Amino acid sequence: MKKSDTPHINKDSSPLSVLMLFFTENFHVLVEKTNLYYEQFLDRQAGPSRRLPDIMLPDMMTYIALALQMGRNLKDTLHDYWSRLRELHTLFYGETMTRDRFLHIRFLHFVDNSQRPDQGKEYDRLWKLRTVFDTLDDNYAKFYNLSENLAVDEVTVKYRGRVIFRQYTPKTRKHFCIKIYKLWDEAGYTCAMRVYLGKDSQSATDDMTTTHATIRHLTPRVEGLGHKLFMDNFFSSPRLFDDFDGHKIN
């Protein structure tokens, strides 16, 4: 697609059109890698297993739609969404996808597990999500024209699963969370993001702290454009401001 033909988000964009703009490539990745993971699961079974049909693109899109709706209609257990008890019954879920099909797609995977990288010096703790995450990050910049005023800050995403980079923050309501550094504009639109994966000693140098390196990772797409960048004192430093001055970031 030529750059001049690239679609952009505007005030008339529907939520579905925005989702598809960002996520269409990733839907295809999810279908491919989830089916692959299911094949690998069957190969590990000692005896014969009943094979379920492959997941197709409409299945995956329906699964994501149901998962999003579940966040708006909270029930105690996953099975409650398909319960036939009068006090729990919600027609929408059963009419959209059967419970067993939904549970099968919980084999959801974003990457080929056989391609796990070696846990050496350059090990990427986000490798299972890296392709999807980077695609989203690229699309944030591709489909939206940023306003002049930008801000950088950290956000926390509540998460109680088991990942090594999960943070414990006792002074907040989200006691267990994943920390993400983000660049956004004054409309609240995310321009770039980076997950905090633990102490990043690889990015630090004699002239650049890890915080400085994180900010520089978020800002290359706005260099030379004259944007104004706002931040609190956690991120700011004289060396960072000198660096910005050389790249025409105010």
Any domain includes 124: no
Residue 212 pLDDT > 80, yes or no?
A: yes
Question: Looking at the structure, do residues 20 and 97 belong to the same domain, yes or no?
Answer: yes
pLDDT of residue 165: 83
Over residues 148-176, the pLDDT tens digits come to: 999 999 888 888 888 888 887 777 776 88
Residue 95 pLDDT > 90, yes or no?
A: yes
Question: Looking at the structure, do residues 49 and 80 belong to the same domain, yes or no?
Answer: yes
Give me the domain span that covers residue 29: 12-115
Instruction: Dump the DSSP string for 64-124.
Output: HHHHHHHTTS--SSGGGGG--STTT--HHHHHHS-HHHHHHGGG--SS-GGGPPP-STT--
Question: Looking at the structure, do residues 228 and 137 belong to the same domain, yes or no?
Answer: yes
pLDDT of residue 2: 43
Return the minimum-mean-pLDDT range out of 94-103, 142-151, 173-182, 216-225: 173-182
What token pair was written down for 78? 């996953």
205: confidence class by pLDDT, cuts 50, 70, 90: low
Percent of the chain scoring above 90 in pLDDT:
33
Question: Looking at the structure, do residues 50 and 88 belong to the same domain, yes or no?
Answer: yes
Q: What's the mean pLDDT when you consider all of the chain? A: 86
Question: Residue 215 corresponds to which amino acid?
Answer: I
Distance CA 220, CA 197 (A): 20
The arithmetic mean of pLDDT across residues 56-68, rounded, is 93
Question: Looking at the structure, do residues 93 and 173 belong to the same domain, yes or no?
Answer: no
Considering only residues 145 and 31, tell me which one the structure prediction assigns the higher pLDDT. 31
Number of domains composing the chain: 2
